[in-house]
Amino acid sequence: MKLIYSQASPYARKVRACAIALGIDRQIELVEADVADPPDWLLAANPLGRVPTLIAEDGFAIFDSAVICEYLNGSAEFLPIVPPSGAARWLCLRLEALGDGLMDAAVSLRQVQGSGMLPAEHPLARRHLGAIERTLDHLEKSRPAQHVDVGTISIACALGYLDLRFPAMQWRATHPQVASWHAQISRHACLSETAPQLA
C-alpha cells in the first residue's frame, strides 16, 4: 500500500498513527506530496487533490482519513482501533469526528489568517476560533479515555496541530485536564513516532 501524505497534515498523521497502532505501518510506503501544487499522480488518485490518500494493493484509491482508518482497521488482524459494535463504537467514532472537526477549524483558521486576507477579528476567523475553544472546553469537561483508538488518536493529532501552527494559543494554560491527557497519550509509540517536526 502507498500513503500519499504531507509532513504537516494532521489528517495524514492520524492515518500514520493508526497504521502503527494496528501494527501494519511496515506494509505502507509513504509518498510525500505538495498539496499547494498537487502533482498529477495525486489528482489522478484523488480528484480533490488532498492528503491523506491511500493506494491499496489492488490500486484502489481511498480517501478521506476516516475512510482510510476504517479500511486499515478492517485489514489488520489484531488490536482493532475501532470497536466493532455497540455504544463503544459510536463513542469512538464521535470522538474521531470531534478530532477531525478540530483539525478542520484549525486548518481553516490558518488558511484565512495565513493568507493575510482576513484580520483575526473577522467573523470567519472568529467562527473557527469559536469551534476550537468550544471543543477544548468540551474535552476539558469530558476527558477522553487513555487508550489508543481512532477517536483518541484523532484528538491527539488535532491538539498536536494546534501546537505546530498556533504555539501562541497556549491552550494548556486554560485546559489543564486536556493538557495532562495529551501528555500521557502522546507517550504511545504511534503518536511519539509521528509527532510533527518544525521545518
Ligand X SMILES: N[C@@H](CCC(=O)N[C@@H](CS)C(=O)NCC(=O)O)C(=O)O
Q: Give the residues lining the site for ligand X (CB under 6 A).
A: 6, 9, 11, 35, 49-52, 64-66, 100, 107
Cβ-based neighbours of 19, under 8 Å, separated by 6 or more:
3, 25, 27, 28, 72
Cα 199 to the chain's mean position, in Å? 19
Three-state SS at 77 = coil
Complete edge-to-edge strand list for the sheet that includes strand 53-55: 29-32, 2-5, 53-55, 61-62
By beta-carbon proximity to ligand X, the closer residue of 73 and 175 is 73
Shortest distance in whole angstroms from residue 63 CB to ligand X: 6
Q: Outline where 46-85 has alpha helix (H).
A: 65-75
CB of 83 to ligand X, least distance (A): 20
The residue (of 25 and 100) whose beta carbon lies closer to ligand X is 100
Nearer to ligand X, 112 or 179 (CB): 112
H-state helical runs in 115-148: 123-141
CB 19 → ligand X: shortest distance, Å? Answer: 14
Separate counts of helices (H) and strands (E) for the chain: 9, 4
Q: Minimum Å distance from CB 173 to ligand X?
A: 26
Nearer to ligand X (CB atom), residue 66 or residue 95: 66
